[in-house]
Amino acid sequence: MEVSFSPHAPTEVDADLLVLPASAGADLGFELDRAGFAGRPGEELLVPRRAGDPFQAGAVLLVGLEPDADERAVRRAVGHAAPRMAGFATVAVALPHPGAVVEGVRLGGYRFDGYKSAPEGRAVERLILLAPEDLDAVARAEAVADAVTFTRDLVNTPAGDLVPMTLARRAVEMAEESGLEVRVLAADELREGGFGGILGVGAASANPPCLIEVSYPGDGKSGVVGLAGKGITFDAGGLGIKSQKAMATMKSDMAGGATMLAVVRAAARLGLRTGVVAVVPAAENMVSGSATRPGDVLRHRNGVTTEVVDTDAEGRLVLADALAYLAERRPDAIIDAATLTYSVMHALGEDITGILGNDRALLGALTEAGEAAGEPLWEMPMWRPYLERIKSDVADFKNDGGAHADVILAALFLENFTGGVPWAHLDFATTAYLDKATDLGPAGATGAMVRTLIGYLESR
């Protein structure tokens, strides 16, 4: 999509579609038939051009928006309206906050239709911003939208086309295009390196596991943040096999990994000062004669052992190795993201990501970044008395502590692999993949937390 600025008045711009803000009682400067349109947020009205109309565009799209709308409101309003814009090649938008406008058009107009025999519809080819020129805001918005789209594309890809080593190849291609350092540890190297969690989870699959590492150096003076993302490219549940219904969306179980790859890519594109190391433990959790059994004990990268009591609680097993590996680098902070527990779904629903951790400043900074991005986070307690529930009689820990408070139990488990480094855990089991459209995109992968994590890195 080509983006440009124009000094012309809305009535003078030549475009296929002109997008204008409208609120109750707003004066547009010219008359339009607004019968039944109140201009409330979330409302749109498409008005085709008629003879004598005072504007040059082929049609006008009125978007409900309050007069004092901030960037979040503009992003959501434009995102909600973006599917209406998709049938027009050239779109002029007379809304404030140009960066939010670009993000809204890109994210709200996203489609994953490469597997369809015919595309669903054309996208906006040229976007004209009728606002004071702000090239930096547009450049940032493009980088952020590209990162979200990169994540969505990976997560939406069918699991048969994105096995662990395929994900690794996609990461290598991305890293080479972005000038980033990349390393992939295959199964033999995982064995040599003591990554028992990743190997145990991937033991039943014909597609071997791997660990992906992509690094951006930053300016060399502003510290380094480690990112770990769960990369289960398909989760059948292991021997504790899921139901067909629960398995239906499990191609999305690598959303954490896709998110972290997208964030390190964006950090490089934006030239952020903070360095970033993204680590993705990638595996398929399948069923076969070689599967890890309940009662088996796995030894992780840092020597800690885990008794596997639930083969469907595999995400924490692979993340344990990734966190221990990152902790060896002694970064300033470690953040992990994972589609990890059903508990967070029941507690926070479809709009809110759970956050837990061991450092108040880090948790606060991430929550603030989420607020700015319109991606709310809610802190869950690290209730340490529950740690007794995951103590094992035969190993250091077990990977399940019962049906209740699993989001807390998972975080308490993961903390044992962070090496005392300031750490935050993002559980976005619901927000990463939705079965219905939102203001910022269709059903499927959302790219949640990409914008939040970019904002956090920018704030450092």
Check 242, 273, 389, 460 and give the catalytic one: 242
For helices 135-156 and 164-178, angle between their N-to-C axes, nearest 10 degrees: 160
Contact 71, 49 (CB under 8 A): no
What does the alpha-carbon distance between residue 173 and residue 184 come to, in Å, rounded to a whole number? 12
Nearest Cα to 323, choosing from 254, 243, 230? Answer: 230
What does the alpha-carbon distance between residue 11 and residue 16 come to, in Å, rounded to a whole number? 13
Contact 200, 281 (CB under 8 A): no
Dmax over Cα atoms in the chain, in whole Å? 83
Q: Is there a catalytic annotation at residue 316? A: yes
Q: What are the tokens at 90?
A: 């050239």
Nearest Cα to 259, choosing from 410, 429, 83, 137? Answer: 429
DSSP per position, 294-307: TT-EEE-TTS-EEE
What does the alpha-carbon distance between residue 394 and residue 377 come to, in Å, rounded to a whole number? 36
Cβ burial, residue 29 (10 Å; 0-12/13-18/19+): exposed
The total number of residues written for the chain in this structure: 460
Q: Is there a catalytic annotation at residue 436? A: no
SS3 288: coil
The one-letter amino acid at 173:
E
What does the alpha-carbon distance between residue 79 and residue 448 come to, in Å, rounded to a whole number? 15
**Residue written as token pair 């950090």:** 267
Residue 347 CB neighbours (<10 A)? 18
What does the alpha-carbon distance between residue 254 and residue 72 come to, in Å, rounded to a whole number? 27
Contact 270, 459 (CB under 8 A): no
329 φ/ψ angles, rounded to the nearest 5 degrees: -80, -15
- Which strand (E) or helix (H) includes residue 319? helix 315-327
First to last CA, the chain: 30
Check 170, 299, 316, 451 and give the catalytic one: 316
**Residue written as token pair 């300031």:** 422
Nearest Cα to 440, choosing from 144, 169, 28, 2? Answer: 144
Which positions are annotated as active-site residues?
A: 242, 316
